[in-house]
Amino acid sequence: MIRSQKTSLLAPLLRGSALVLFATFLGCGTLVAKDGAYEPMRGQAGKDVVWIPTPPELVTRMLEMAQVTKDDFVVDLGSGDGRIVIAAAREFGARGLGLEYDEKMVGFASRNAATAGVSGRVEFRQADIFKTDFSQADVVTMYLLPDLNLRLRSTLMAMTPGTRIVSHQFSMANWKLDETSWVQGRPAYLWIVPANAGGAWEATYSRKAGAAASIAFTLEQQFQELKGTAQLGDIRTSLRTPSLRGRELQFGFTDADGVLRQVTATIDGGRMQGRIAGPDGSSAFTAERKGEAPPVGGSAPVTGDELSNAMRQLGE
């Protein structure tokens, strides 16, 4: 079942997560600086989580994992004091947006951005992350609880293929990680939103002596994980180690002449283009999907059982 706000807050505190270190601050309010400006307190309660800022060293590593550049737009979900978005602008030259429910924290983050000299590249908004469209992001960062990550998963899976998502501390159940890093014992997890590669495809390419060849192949997809088969006339064969990273697809197969071929292609909706290589060289490879694309496995909204399991594991 979906956890209430109260349960989401108390579960990690009662069951020994990293957030318990600051549990004693709950209910203590906030600090006010000598000049009367708002100052947040570590461990203060928010809408769905308590505020525990990500260490600067891990912030930098998260942005490195996402390969952030000056051309990227970074969105931080639950942006707190703004440190991730500010670091993206200051260290990598990116543009950024922080979405934060607490209006006072929004003001605090904006002042931090001004102090850092990046106000022209970043913005902070008071927003509910479950009701806000952030689909324009190239990179999404977050430090939320497991149930919140899972509630966001279907939204994240629907983003543009190749979007990079980085989470501090908590994963997204059976969505396999693309990379994990640890900084001072704290984990950060990376996912790359996969294209929809599923369904039946028909492809053409050139083989020995330039002769044209065609194959029909089918791919089944669960998150970014694939399995598939190819039909070569009367021969049906499995695809070798198919893999998907954003829109980039790779797989191998043994063709009708007994030659091992390796395909590298970029998916663009219902088409893919790339190269096919073998011992006799490489040539252009193009394919079109036949029929409608099936839903990507794992892209449906989270189930109540998944939410319950995530919160149970948090306490283990």
CATH code (residue 117): 3.40.50.150
Do residues 108 and 186 both lie within one domain?
yes
Which residue among 193, 227, 257 closes a domain? 193
Do residues 60 and 187 both lie within one domain?
yes
In a domain, 34, yes or no: no
In a domain, 310, yes or no: no
Do residues 137 and 216 both lie within one domain?
no
In a domain, 125, yes or no: yes
Contact 219, 296 (CB under 8 A): no
Instruction: Give the pLDDT confidence score for residue 35 in this predicted structure.
Output: 55
Do residues 189 and 205 both lie within one domain?
no
SS3 266: strand
Q: Average model confidence (pLDDT) for the chain?
A: 88
Tokens of 292: 């409608």
Which residue among 193, 218, 238 closes a domain? 193
> Domain containing 172: what range?
53-193
Do residues 59 and 189 both lie within one domain?
yes
What are the tens digits of pLDDT across the range 92-148? 999 999 999 999 999 999 999 999 999 999 999 999 999 999 999 999 999 999 999
| Sequence-separated (6 or more) residues with CB below 8 Å from residue 222 | 296, 297, 298
Average pLDDT over residues 188-200: 99
In a domain, 276, yes or no: yes
In a domain, 26, yes or no: no
pTM value is 0.86
Do residues 162 and 232 both lie within one domain?
no
Q: Residue 239: is its pLDDT beyond 90?
A: yes
Show the beta-strand stretches assigned E in the chain.
Answer: 31-32, 38-39, 73-77, 95-100, 122-126, 139-142, 164-168, 179-183, 186-192, 199-206, 212-222, 225-232, 235-238, 240-245, 248-254, 260-268, 271-278, 281-290
- The confidence band for 289, taking pLDDT boundaries of 50, 70 and 90, is very high
What are the tens digits of pLDDT across the range 43-66? 777 777 788 899 999 999 999 999
- The confidence band for 8, taking pLDDT boundaries of 50, 70 and 90, is very low
CATH code (residue 286): 2.40.128.120
Do residues 233 and 254 both lie within one domain?
yes
Average pLDDT over residues 186-207: 96
Do residues 88 and 164 both lie within one domain?
yes
Q: How many domains does the chain have?
A: 2
Do residues 103 and 206 both lie within one domain?
no
Q: Residue 6: is its pLDDT beyond 90?
A: no
Which residue among 158, 193, 228 closes a domain? 193
Do residues 215 and 166 both lie within one domain?
no
Do residues 243 and 257 both lie within one domain?
yes
Residue percentage of the chain with pLDDT more than 90: 77
Tokens of 122: 């970043």
Give dist(CA 44, CA 21) in Å, integer: 12
In a domain, 18, yes or no: no
- Nearest one of 261, 287, 262, 253 to 273, comparing CA atoms: 287
Do residues 189 and 206 both lie within one domain?
no
In a domain, 209, yes or no: yes
In a domain, 227, yes or no: yes
